[in-house]
Each structure stands twice: as structure tokens, then as C-alpha cells.
């Protein structure tokens, strides 16, 4: 699939990157923040930046991640995840982390400084049975951040447009779900990324509080973390100029973004015509009864 560069410029900035791929959709940001938090553990004095990052990640882990650790079943975990990402605090904590890191160099540079023992720390939190998932997540995270940096440089040199990440909407954190300009497949990726980030905050919370997780819960959280991460990377790899290796995201798994945008525009046009026809016929249109 070859996406016209004219579309890359508009679609990248207005639809996809601000929510999903910007600095790893928050995934890379969280990993870097937890790594920094671990590095600060033995410090007696902290800089203002480090204190800000420490406060933000600990607050996010407690408010967003900790409630997931009390799940009593998979259904209960699902309900708790929904409640976490629907809260206004979800976007607020991410925005605070983004602000804290914005004065401390590019995220790609932060990730290069992540200590080699972070994966072992997560394995200790989630259990040895999750080693393969954690190793895969580390590989995808680094590929995601590198791909975003590649795309940002390409778009900047081609269009003189900066696609640096924007802050999330704290008043409507899930507003993209009702935004008709966001294709459903892209909205689904956004949502998966939010779930993924909430799950990572649960991992961070368990690690910070040294809480022992039941094996089923550790597995469920790890799988949901990976699932959202993978969807995010698949979409990013679908943009030209990102240079994601095929052994990470095979060609046949990448999205035809041009088709997604075209199909969404066609659906919006058809819906608009449907409502015009209903108005002309003086017929009331109601949403279908969910029970039917």
C-alpha cells in the first residue's frame, strides 16, 4: 500500500499520531518513567524534574493501575479497565508525565538510557511465566519509538510540519470514539492503546507496592498490555517512512490507511444523505433499540 504524501501530512497530524503513535502512544513514556523511578530509589535528594516525574508516575500507578489489581475475575478486570480509562484523571496523569519529560530530552534518548534490569524487574512483578511477553513488549516498544522518530523526521523534512505529540483531552479522554473523522479501525487502536497503558500502570503499581499477583491476573494484565501495544505498532508501521522491520510487523498485517479514510468518508456521506432524506420526508429517525 502506498499512501500519498499529501494524505500522510494531513492524516498523520490530524487523526493518528496525536493519540496513538506519539512517543509510543504513552507506552514508551510510561516505561521511561518507571525506569527513572527505579533509578531514583536510592537517591537522597531529587531534582525538581525528577521529583515531578516521581510524583506523576506514582500518582498514576496508584489512581489508574492499583484498582486493576483488586480484580476478582476477567469480567471484573474488564469493568475496572473501562472505569480507569474513562476517568478524567487518566488523561491528566499522562499529560503531567509528558510535561515532565518534555524538558528532559527526546523520549528516544530516555529509552536508550533504560537500565538492562527493567525487564527483570517486570518479570519479578508478573512472574517467570510472563518472560516471553515482557521480552516481546520491550522489542515492540523500542521499535515503536524508533518508528515514530523516523516518521517525525520524514514529515518535518517533507512538509515542514512538526508532529510532536499533543496533550490528551482531559475533559473528554474518549472523545475519539464519537469523532466521525476518526475511522472506526483507528478509534479501536486508540482504545486498545489506552487499555494497554492502564495495564502497564497496574504493573507499575504492583512493583512499587511490592504486591504479589495471582498468576491468572498477572497473565491477563500482561496480555492486555501486549495486545494494545501490538495494535499501536501495526498502525504506525502502516505509514511510509517509519521503517518497521517485517519480522516485527509483517507486510500482510499492515493497514491500508488510505482505504480506511476513504471508507469512513463514504460512510459519513451516506449517513448525512440518510438524515437529509429523512428530514425531507418528515420522518423521525431514532437509534435502534439495543435490546433488539
C-alpha cell at 206: 504492583
Q: Which residues contact 168 (CB under 8 A, 6 or more apart)?
A: 19, 91, 94, 95
0.75 surpassed by pTM: yes
249-271 pLDDT per residue, tens: 999 999 998 899 899 999 999 98
Least confident of 47-51, 124-128, 160-164: 160-164
Question: Which residue from 26, 5, 24 is spatially nearest to 257, judged by alpha carbons?
Answer: 5
* Cα 56 from Cα 98, distance rounded (Å): 10
* Cα 149 from Cα 21, distance rounded (Å): 10
- The pLDDT value given to residue 111: 56
pLDDT band at 161 (very low <50, low <70, confident <90, very high): low
C-alpha separations of 9 from 5, 160, 179, 288 in Å: 6, 10, 19, 37
| Number of CB atoms found within 10 A of residue 191's CB | 18
* Cα 25 from Cα 196, distance rounded (Å): 10
- The pLDDT value given to residue 211: 94
- The pLDDT value given to residue 212: 93
Amino acid at each position: 500500500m502506498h499512501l500519498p504524501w499529501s494524505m500522510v501530512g494531513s492524516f498523520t497530524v490530524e487523526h493518528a499520531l496525536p493519540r496513538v503513535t506519539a512517543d509510543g502512544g504513552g507506552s514508551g513514556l510510561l516505561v521511561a518513567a518507571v525506569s527513572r523511578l527505579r533509578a531514583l530509589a536510592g537517591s537522597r535528594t531529587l531534582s525538581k524534574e525528577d521529583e515531578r516525574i516521581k510524583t506523576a508516575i506514582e500518582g498514576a500507578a496508584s489512581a489508574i493501575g492499583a484498582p486493576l489489581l483488586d480484580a476478582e475475575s476477567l469480567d471484573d478486570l474488564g469493568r475496572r479497565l473501562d472505569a480507569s480509562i474513562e476517568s478524567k484523571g487518566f488523561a491528566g496523569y499522562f499529560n503531567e508525565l509528558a510535561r515532565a519529560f518534555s524538558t528532559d530530552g527526546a523520549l528516544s534518548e530516555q529509552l536508550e538510557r533504560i537500565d538492562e534490569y527493567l525487564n527483570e524487574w517486570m518479570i519479578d512483578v508478573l512472574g517467570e511465566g510472563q518472560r516471553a511477553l515482557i521480552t516481546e513488549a520491550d522489542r515492540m516498544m523500542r521499535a515503536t519509538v524508533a518508528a515514530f522518530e523516523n516518521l517525525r523526521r520524514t514529515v518535518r523534512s517533507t512538509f515542514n510540519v512538526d508532529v510532536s505529540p499533543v496533550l490528551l483531552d482531559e475533559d473528554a479522554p474518549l472523545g475519539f470514539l464519537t469523532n466521525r473523522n476518526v475511522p472506526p479501525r483507528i478509534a479501536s487502536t486508540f482504545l486498545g492503546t489506552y487499555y494497554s497503558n492502564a495495564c502497564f500502570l497496574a504493573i507499575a503499581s504492583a512493583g512499587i507496592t511490592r504486591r504479589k499477583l495471582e498468576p491468572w491476573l498477572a497473565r491477563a494484565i500482561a496480555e492486555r498490555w501486549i495486545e494494545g501495544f501490538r495494535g499501536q505498532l501495526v498502525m504506525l508501521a502502516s505509514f511510509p517512512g517509519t521503517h518497521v522491520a517485517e519480522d516485527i510487523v509483517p507486510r500482510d498485517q499492515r493497514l491500508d490507511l488510505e482505504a480506511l479514510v476513504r471508507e469512513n468518508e463514504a460512510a459519513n456521506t451516506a449517513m448525512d444523505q440518510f438524515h437529509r432524506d429523512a428530514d425531507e420526508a418528515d420522518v423521525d429517525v431514532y437509534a435502534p433499540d439495543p435490546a433488539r
